[in-house]
Amino acid sequence: MNIFEDKLSNGVRVVSERLKDYRSVSISLWVKAGSVDEGEGEGGISHFIEHMIFKGTKNRTASEIASQMDALGGNLNAFTSKECTCFYAKVLDEHLPLAADMISDMALNSRLSDDDIEREKGVVVEEINMAADSPEDIAHESIVSLMFEDDPLQKPILGTTQSVMSMTRDDMINYMAKRYVAGNMVIACAGNFERESLIEVLEKSFKDVSIADAAQDRNYGNMRQNRAIRSIHKDIEQVHICFGLPGFPMDTKGQYPLVALSNILGGTMSSRLFQRIREEEGLAYSVYSFPTSYCTAGYFGLYAGTGDKQAEMVIDIMMEELYRLKKDGLTDAELRRSKEQLKGSYILGLESTSSHASAIGKSALLRGKVSSEHEVLERVQSITMDDINGIIPKVLDFSRLCTVFVGKDCERLVGKMDEYR
């Protein structure tokens, strides 16, 4: 296994994977700064900081950041999730020192000028408005906020228009001082490099990271224990249906069996829901199931977007398939097929240096350890029918079923769910 784990002199963890047959290198900085970490009045600050870091540093203007990366033929980007923020770059192996310097400069020396902040508020508000125009996004965001109603996981990553417009430079500086510290960071690198040279480069680039332990105030993952339904009126032609059921946190025994179960129910084109609802009945274009795992909690989601007149039929089929799954489980052939699909998609998903860096970086930050490709494939292969049958009672607990409807006339569908108590 060519995965290495090191620690810089200031305490920043480094995970790296040498892939000597590639000409590229991907480097990413992972920070424990997501929407779950935001306090009162800080909604969306993790994401806003991610935007601001591209607006210039003490050493580079925003234009210079873009032009320097373009000159290398590489790419530089970032994203924010509920549990972390990630900044990443992909370049030719010879340009690794410059990519590392750019990411560290952006994360540690951002100007955060008042003028830039005021301008960017408009951009982020437009991003919030854009998400509000997507009924599928609304359904997904709403199912999380319904299932984790009194928990930090329900906080929207983008924040709200009100929270964004009230943000100040001091708010960002104080948040970064608390979160952008050595104990909260992981640097991940994958591609063609020498381990000793990499550490030398990173020691130089990230020497100014504040030496502090990880913040210990992460307390989240309390899921609702009862049924709940939310109907959201939106003047659109389709009805968007989202179910939420209990799932499993990262790195727990039930996580992999649930992924295999989801694969058969609605995770692929050959799945039960896709075949029945789309192929046989022609009732929906988009229908799928999805397991989501956070550090301390997880849920199992189902989604379908369908015409208003077909909504009740789609709900019936979705619930029929859930009841059938609870009563009869999977067949041996389905489990074998699911495991082969999972292994294939996992391996095919690792055909770039960026996917390798993402996998090891996220795992090191959120799980505290890194699994090799062999270990992941072994976990998939070792899933048994007993494992599947063992998780079904917990996952398919309809006394905890949460439902979201987004559409024009959804009130009648709320009553429809009473049939499935």
CATH of the domain at 403: 3.30.830.10
Domain that holds residue 413: 228-420
Residues 174 and 236 in one domain: no
Question: Residue 400 in 3-state DSSP?
Answer: helix
Positions annotated as catalytic residues are 50
Q: What is the pLDDT of residue 411?
A: 86
In a domain, residue 217? The reply is: no
Q: Do 56 and 115 sit in the same domain of this protein?
A: yes
pLDDT along the chain (421 residues), means of 10: 91 96 96 95 96 96 96 96 98 97 97 96 96 95 96 96 97 95 96 96 95 75 96 94 97 96 96 97 96 97 96 96 97 97 95 96 95 94 97 97 94 88 75
pLDDT of res. 420: 83
- Identify the domain boundary among 190, 205, 220: 205
Which pLDDT score is estimated for 132?
Answer: 92
Please tell me whether residues 282 and 146 are part of one structural domain: no
Helix (H) or strand (E) holding 419: none
| Same domain (yes/no): 255, 338 | yes
In a domain, 185, yes or no: yes
123 part of a folded domain: yes
What does the alpha-carbon distance between residue 330 and residue 325 come to, in Å, rounded to a whole number?
A: 7
Contact assessment for residue 271 and residue 264, using Cβ atoms and an 8 Å cutoff: yes
If asked whether residues 189 and 283 sit together in one domain, one would say no
pLDDT value for 91: 97
Residues 196, 234, single domain; the answer is no
Do 200 and 238 fall within a single domain? no
According to the 3-state scheme, what is the secondary structure of 228-289? EEEEEECCCCEEEEEEEEECCCCCCCCHHHHHHHHHHHHHCCCCHHHHHHHHHCCCEEEEEE
Same domain, 290 and 337: yes
Instruction: Say yes or no: 136 and 263 in one domain.
Output: no
Residue position matching structure tokens 């381990």: 195
Please check whether residue 249 lies inside any domain of the structure: yes
Contacts with 387 (C-beta within 8 Å, 6 or more apart), sequence order: 253, 254, 256, 257
Model's pTM, two decimal places?
0.94
Same domain? 289 vs 200? no
Domain assignment present for 379: yes
Determine the pLDDT at residue 418.
Answer: 85
Does residue 111 lie in a domain region?
yes
Look at the chain and report how many structural domains it folds into. 2
Strands 75-80 and 13-18: unpaired
Is residue 218 a part of any domain in this protein?
Answer: no
